[in-house]
Structure 1
């Protein structure tokens, strides 16, 4: 068992244990809304994880029973910004440094324990796997306060779910239940509130059962080739792909199969 590494800075907790990083937004007094300091800290965390080859899966969630994240903290200083000023200052990596990030080659599981609204919904759209509590609510509610979901919400939602379903949410700013988002295909699994952690752990275990180099290659191939045809994408010699093809993991997988035992992944 690997050592537990825990860091808590600016109301964001990062814990790394047994190859799994858990990122918790802990600003419960504002339903885990993200301010500028928290956003900067989240960016630091993603960059740290990008450079940590020991991490094989990431779980992102919100603290407490009520909210995953309700987006930007609508405090007085945030409200003072005009829409144009907000647009001009957008992070290339999207909301929370994650919703549009294409350099994190580690699977990200969104553990949605409550409200995922605005930027919180955009963080969900930046994840690879979504596990939701039955009480969770999703929505890109920005139009209801005269704003727009510019951190990937508009452009990603319409690519991830059927057009009319996406527009039904985007044009009304309405909230949708976890079961509705599951039916649309955005959520992988909906479970009773008390079973969320067990469900997340099942997904984590399945990821960890795979060769880390293969998983990184899959994630990189998907994020780096979405603009290409399948044939064009197959021809790219991406770094993670080439590393996986010539990895110790690849050799170990074959040996384990031949010896009829579970593989022990070197992770390289």
Structure 2
């Protein structure tokens, strides 16, 4: 059985980590496969959204599998490039939903933070154990944590290495929804359904515009013209959206 399961259904790409006995930690081979998958997700016009999940109840992902020692130096960026740790940063064009359960630690925590939407089981625990075990390096997870969480919450995670339960972090906006573990996959699918109900080209253009100017002053973002938005204005989906609205029906998107 593959360490990563991949399938496409109803315009949704399903990516599932499948090493539950190893807490779904990611090997170099898995990184390479994930890099291929993210490239396909970005380039395939039939894929409008992706869900990243993991097998088993115990863990979403404990980060990189460090059992390989020197082999680790040969890996692509963790998570197939999503994190940018150890290699080029992959900017996924399509919306990504992370379905998180159990332990979500270190690089696994960062992979989850790379998603646009996080749905968590009530069993989820998040942590940055790097300082506690003395392996801190060029660790991108600390930079994402300090940007996505309140300063003192992020610093507590970074400096102590202790885990926090999702119930403690949810009030700070880390996740979009907390559900029982049994409902995790259906909740992720429901979010994917909300996303795919919208124009896929509009969604992709909006994601690119929102994230590409995130570090710029508001004045710069407001005066920037975005190629994806400009291109969308001439698409068939714009016409379909207006026609469907006037006819009081649901639009039928074609991503063209």
TM-score by length of 1: 0.88
Q: Which residue of 2 aligns with 1:97?
A: 81
1:230, distance to aligned residue in structure 2 (A): 2.2
Aligned counterparts, 1:39-188, within 5 A: 39-75=31-67, 77-78=68-69, 91=76, 94-100=78-84, 101=89, 103-148=91-136, 150-188=138-176
Q: Which residue of 2 aligns with 1:225?
A: 213
Match of 2:8 among 16, 25, 31: 16
SS of residue matched to 1:32: coil
Aligned counterparts, 1:185-264, within 5 A: 185-264=173-252
1:176, distance to aligned residue in structure 2 (A): 0.9
For residues 94-119 of structure 1, what are the alpha-carbon distances to aligned partners after superposition, in whole Å with 9 as ceiling and x for unaligned? 54421244531111000002211011
1:222, distance to aligned residue in structure 2 (A): 2.0
Between stretches 146-155 and 187-196, larger displacement belongs to 146-155
Cα distance between partner residues in 2 of 1:231 and 1:126? 25
SS of residue matched to 2:24: coil
**Contact 2:35-2:79 at 8 Å conserved across structures:** no
**Contact 2:59-2:104 at 8 Å conserved across structures:** yes
For residues 12-61 of structure 1, what are the alpha-carbon distances to aligned partners after superposition, in whole Å with 9 as ceiling and x for unaligned? 11111110001111112211111111111111111121111111110001
> What RMSD in Å do the two structures reach over aligned CA positions?
1.9
Q: 1:178 to 1:142 in 2, by over 3 A?
A: same
SS of residue matched to 1:97: coil
**Contact 2:82-2:91 at 8 Å conserved across structures:** no
Structure 2: unaligned runs, 5 residues or longer: none
For residues 203-244 of structure 1, what are the alpha-carbon distances to aligned partners after superposition, in whole Å with 9 as ceiling and x for unaligned? 111101111111001111122111212221233333321222
Cα distance between partner residues in 1 of 2:222 and 2:202? 15
1:180, distance to aligned residue in structure 2 (A): 1.5
SS of residue matched to 1:263: coil
Q: 1:209 to 1:201 in 2, by over 3 A?
A: same
Structure 1: unaligned runs, 5 residues or longer: 1-7
Match of 1:28 among 14, 20, 24: 20
1:151, distance to aligned residue in structure 2 (A): 4.5
**Contact 1:20-1:56 at 8 Å conserved across structures:** yes
Q: 1:149 to 1:174 in 2, by over 3 A?
A: farther
Cα distance between partner residues in 2 of 1:228 and 1:90? 31
Corresponding residue pairs, total: 252
